Homo-oligomer: A and B are copies of this chain.
Amino acid sequence: MIGAQIAGFYAELSQLDADAHLLLDYRIECSGDPRAAAAHLASEQSTAQWRRVGADEDYRPRFAAKVVDLEVETVLSGTSYPLAPPVDGPVSVCRVRIAHPHANFGPRIPNLLSAVLGEGAYFAPGIPIVKLLDIEFPDIYLAQFDGPRFGLKGLRDLWQIHDRPFFFGVIKPNIGLAPAPFAELGLAAWRGGLDIAKDDEMLADPDWSPLAERTKLLGAARHQAEQETGVPKVYLANITDEVDRLVELHDIAVGNGANAVMVNALPVGLSAVRMLRRHATVPLVAHFPVIAAMSRLPHFGAHTRVLTKLQRLAGFDVIIMPGFGPRMMTAEDEILECIAACTESMGPIKPALPVPGGSDSAATLARVHEQVGDADFGFVPGRGVFSHPHGPRGGAASLRQAWEAIAAGVPVAEHAKQHPELASALESFG
C-alpha cells in the first residue's frame, strides 16, 4: 500500500463511534515503514480489498479496522525471536492500537477470534512478530453476552464463603483411581475443611472412572460432608468432553450431586462454553490447557489477559490460571493482570473468581494472599492437600490453619507450633 491507500486505514479515535468499535492493542515487530505495516495489520483483519475492479467505491469508511495510535518504541537489528524463514534487516518495535468495527462480525466468539487472532493479525505483510496485548469492548457489545451466571459475589452467597479465599483441592492421584476410593479422598478433604473438591483437568469420563458413577459417589459424599460439618461443600466435576456431550454430562453430573462443573476452556472451545452457559444451572469453572502454547513468549501470540477476558465473556464463574511460584513460569505482573481481568469492571459482565494455581500448599498461602492483595481468590492445591503426610483431611486442615494465622496477623510458622497439620505441611512443602 502507498500514500492515500494507507491513509484509509487511519483514523482519529475521537472521530469514531466508540460504541461501534473494539479496541485492540498489539505489540508488533515490523520490517519497513511502520506506518504502512500498521495499515496492513488493520487492512488484513478487515477489508483487505476495499473496492471492486472498475467500481467507484470505498468500503473502508464503514468496514475497515483503523489504526488509532502508533508508537515506535525502538528499532532492533532483527526480530526478538529467530524465525524460519528468517527476517533480514532492522525491525521496528511498535505499539499499535486498532479500532475494529464489531458489526463486521457481531457478538460471536469464533468470528471475533478470527478477526483479532486470525490471518489478519499473524500474516500482515511486514509483521512477522505480533502479540495481541489487550482488547476492550464497548458495553453495548458486552451486553449481548451472558457472562458469568453467579460471578464472584454470587459464589460467595451460594457457597457461604465470606472474607476469606475459596479453598479448592484437586483430588489426587488425579487419574487411575476408581470412583469409590476417589470419593473417600474427597470426603476426607471436605471433613478437614476444604470447600471445593475437584477433578483434575485430565480426569473426565474414562472407562475406569465413568462420570456417571464418579459423580454419584462424590455427590453422596458431598451431602454427607455437608451434614457432618453444617456448611456448604462443593464437588466440582470435570465434564470436559466433545461439544455435543457437554449438556448431557452437565445434567448427569448435576443430577448426581455435583454442584459445579469444570470445562477445559480452549480444548472444548469458548463458543461451546457459551452454549453450555445458557443451559447450566451450576457455576462454570475454566481450566487452562493449550493457553500457554499461544501466550508464554513475551512478544508473540496473545496475552493471557485477553484469554482471561474472553473466558469471562463466555460465561465462566471461576477461572483457574497459572499462578505464583517458579513452577508456573509466569511473571507476577502477568498473573496480577489476569486476576484484574477477572474482577475489574466489564460493563454488564459480572466479575469471575480468579484461581491462580500451581504447586500450592499451606506453605504458600500467605505469599499468594499477599501477592493478590485481598481474599478474593481461589486457592487450589493438589498434592498440598492430597499428598499431605496426614492424608487429605490433614492437608485440608492445614490450609484452614494457615488462613487462621494470616487472618489473625500471626506468623504462619508461629501458628504451626500449636497445629500439627500445619506444621507437617510446612515441613513437607515449605
Q: Which residues of the other chain, B, contact A121 by a CB distance below 8 angstroms?
A: 293
- Taking a contact as CB atoms under 8 Å apart, the answer to whether B83 and A47 are in contact is no
CB distance from A268 to the nearest CB of B (A): 5
CB distance from A240 to the nearest CB of B (A): 5
- Taking a contact as CB atoms under 8 Å apart, the answer to whether B54 and A125 are in contact is no
- Taking a contact as CB atoms under 8 Å apart, the answer to whether B242 and A298 are in contact is no
- Taking a contact as CB atoms under 8 Å apart, the answer to whether A53 and B389 are in contact is yes
Q: Does A11 sit at the interface, judged by CB under 8 A?
A: no
Copies of this chain present in the complex amount to 2
Q: Which residues of the other chain, B, contact A206 by a CB distance below 8 angstroms?
A: 103-106
CB distance from A352 to the nearest CB of B (A): 19
CB distance from A125 to the nearest CB of B (A): 6
Q: Does A159 sit at the interface, judged by CB under 8 A?
A: no
- Taking a contact as CB atoms under 8 Å apart, the answer to whether A241 and B110 are in contact is yes
Given A175-B104, A386-B53, check contact A267 B111 (CB 8 Å): yes
Q: Does A296 sit at the interface, judged by CB under 8 A?
A: yes
Q: Which residues of the other chain, B, contact A93 by a CB distance below 8 angstroms?
A: none
- Taking a contact as CB atoms under 8 Å apart, the answer to whether A326 and B85 are in contact is yes
Least CB separation from A207: chain B residue = B103
Residue among A83, A181, A391, A392 with most chain B CB within 10 A: A83
- Taking a contact as CB atoms under 8 Å apart, the answer to whether A114 and B49 are in contact is no
CB distance from A305 to the nearest CB of B (A): 14
Given A48-B174, A54-B391, A293-B122, check contact A240 B204 (CB 8 Å): no
Given A243-B243, A298-B84, A391-B53, check contact A47 B175 (CB 8 Å): yes
CA distance A387 to B55 in the complex (A): 11
- Taking a contact as CB atoms under 8 Å apart, the answer to whether B175 and A46 are in contact is yes
Least CB separation from A357: chain B residue = B119
Which residues of A from 8 to 49 have beta carbons under 8 Å from B? 45-49
Which residues of A from 53 to 109 have beta carbons under 8 Å from B? 53-54, 59, 62-63, 80-85, 103-106, 108-109
Q: Which residues of the other chain, B, contact A82 by a CB distance below 8 angstroms?
A: 80, 298
- Taking a contact as CB atoms under 8 Å apart, the answer to whether B177 and A59 are in contact is yes
Q: Does A340 sit at the interface, judged by CB under 8 A?
A: no
Q: Which residues of the other chain, B, contact A389 by a CB distance below 8 angstroms?
A: 53
Least CB separation from A240: chain B residue = B110
- Taking a contact as CB atoms under 8 Å apart, the answer to whether B47 and A174 are in contact is yes
> A139-183 CB contact bits vs B (8 Å, 1 = yes)?
000000000000000000000000000000000111111000100
Least CB separation from A392: chain B residue = B53
Q: Which residues of the other chain, B, contact A288 by a CB distance below 8 angstroms?
A: 119
Q: Does A294 sit at the interface, judged by CB under 8 A?
A: yes
Which residues of A from 235 to 249 have beta carbons under 8 Å from B? 240-244
Least CB separation from A322: chain B residue = B123
Q: Which residues of the other chain, B, contact A48 by a CB distance below 8 angstroms?
A: 172, 174, 382-383
Which residues of A from 316 to 364 have beta carbons under 8 Å from B? 322, 326-329, 331, 334, 358
- Taking a contact as CB atoms under 8 Å apart, the answer to whether B176 and A111 are in contact is no
**A residues apposed to B, CB below 8 Å:** 45-54, 59, 62-63, 80-85, 103-106, 108-111, 113-115, 117-123, 125, 128, 172-177, 181, 185, 201-202, 204-208, 240-244, 264, 266-272, 274-275, 287-290, 292-294, 296-298, 300-302, 322, 326-329, 331, 334, 358, 382-383, 386-392
12 contacts between A and B (CB under 8 A): A63-B175, A84-B298, A85-B326, A85-B331, A110-B264, A110-B267, A113-B290, A117-B293, A122-B296, A123-B358, A269-B269, A269-B272
**Known contacts A242-B271, A296-B300; 4 further A-B pairs (Cβ under 8 A):** A63-B175, A85-B331, A117-B290, A128-B329
